[in-house]
Amino acid sequence: MKYLDYPPVWLLAFMCAAYALAGVGVDFTVPPLVALVGWILIALGVGLMGVAAFTMWQHKTTVIPHKRPSAIVTNGVYALSRNPIYLGDVFTLAGFALLCGSSMGIVLVPAFMAVIQKRFIIEEEQKLRAGFPQDFSVWAKKTRRWL
């Protein structure tokens, strides 16, 4: 199942769970303002993912988690978060849960963050630390993992 172990697969799974849980717990009718916030979060998430991936492409390094990076990227959105693509996933999931009217879906957001950190971020940081020890150390001290 290693071929399914990629962040977009996890995001889709958590989105399906948020949708499925829309009938469980304290659910709510989605007022227009909440729907607007949901769409804004999704747009912010997708935009952040796109900008971050483009920045990685400019540095000629991979966005694929299981591959070894050829460069460390610390500028642009990577100066605000060490994981802007995953942060974009989080915004997208939160926005989707709001659109579904799923209170349980909102509870899934920190669970998603924990899964992503355990499955991907820790390993990616180890690779960056091993490949670019000085640069990673400076970057990690001044840039938070999420936000």
Say which amino acid occupies 131. Answer: G
pLDDT of residue 73: 97
The total domain count for the chain is 1
In a domain, 114, yes or no: yes
pLDDT of residue 102: 82
In a domain, 22, yes or no: no
pLDDT of residue 28: 67
In a domain, 130, yes or no: yes
Q: How far apart are CA 36 and CA 116, in angstroms?
A: 26
pTM (2 d.p.) = 0.93
The answer to whether 104 and 21 are in contact (CB under 8 A) is yes
Burial (Cβ within 10 Å: 0-12, 13-18, ≥19) of residue 87: buried
In a domain, 147, yes or no: no
In a domain, 12, yes or no: no
Name the residue range of residue 136's domain.
32-142
**DSSP string of 56-112?**
HHHTT----TTSPPSS---SGGGGT-S-HHHHHHHHHHHHHHHHHT-HHHHHHHHHH
Say which amino acid occupies 146. Answer: W
DSSP three-state, residue 111: helix
pLDDT in tens, the chain (147 residues): 566 789 999 999 999 999 998 877 666 678 899 999 999 999 999 999 999 999 999 999 999 988 999 999 999 999 999 999 999 999 999 999 999 988 888 899 999 999 999 999 999 999 999 999 999 999 999 999 999
In a domain, 79, yes or no: yes
